[in-house]
Amino acid sequence: MDNLIYLIAAALGLGSLGLLAFLWALKSGQFDDLEGAANRILFDEDDEENNKDP
Partner 1 sequence: MTSCTHCNLDIPQGVFIKSEEDQNLQFCCTGCEAAYHVIKGLGLGNYYKRRVLDPNIAALKPEDDVGTIDYQAHAIAETDGTQALYMMVEGMHCAACVWLIETLLQRHEGVTHARLNMSTRRLVVKWQDEKSSANELAGLINGLGYRLVPYDPAALDRVNHEQEKELLRSMAVAGFAAGNVMLFSVSVWAGYFQGMLDVTREMMHWLSALIALPAVVYAGLPFYRSALEALRAQRVNMDVPISLAVILASGMSLYQTIVGAQHAYFDSAVGLLFFLLIGRYLDRRARGRAQSAAERLLALNARSATVIDEEGNRQLLPPSEIKIGMVLLVAPGERVAADGEVIEGTSDLDTSLITGESAPATALPGTGVFAGTNNLSAALKVKITASDKDTLLAEIVRLMEDAEQGRAKYVALADRVAKHYAPVVHTLALFTFLWWFFLGDALWQEALLISVAVLIITCPCALALAVPVVQVIASGRLLKRGIFVKSATALERIAKTDIVVFDKTGTLTLGKPQLVNLGEISQEQLNLAASIAAASKHPLARALCQVAPTVKVAENAQETPGMGMSAGDYKLGKRAWCEVETELKVIGPELWLTGPEIKPVRFVFKDQAREDAQEVVSTLKKQGKRVALLSGDLEPVVHSMVMELGIDDWQAECSPADKVARLAELKRQGFNVLMVGDGLNDAPALAAAHGSISPTTAADVSQTAADLVFQGAKLSPVLEALATAEKADTLVKQNFALTFLYNGLTIPLAVAGYVTPLIAAIAMSASSLVVIGNALRLTKSRKP
Number of residues that bind partner 1 (CB under 8 A): 30
In angstroms, how far is CA 53 from the centroid of its own chain? Answer: 37
DSSP string, 1-54: -HHHHHHHHHHHHHHHHHHHHHHHHHHTTTTS-HHHHHHHTT---PPPPTTS--
Residues 9-48 that bind partner 1 (CB under 8 A): 11-12, 15-16, 18-19, 22-23, 26, 31-36, 39-40, 42-43, 45-48
Q: Summarize as ranges the residues that interact with partner 1 (CB under 8 A).
A: 1, 4, 8, 11-12, 15-16, 18-19, 22-23, 26, 31-36, 39-40, 42-43, 45-48, 50, 52-54
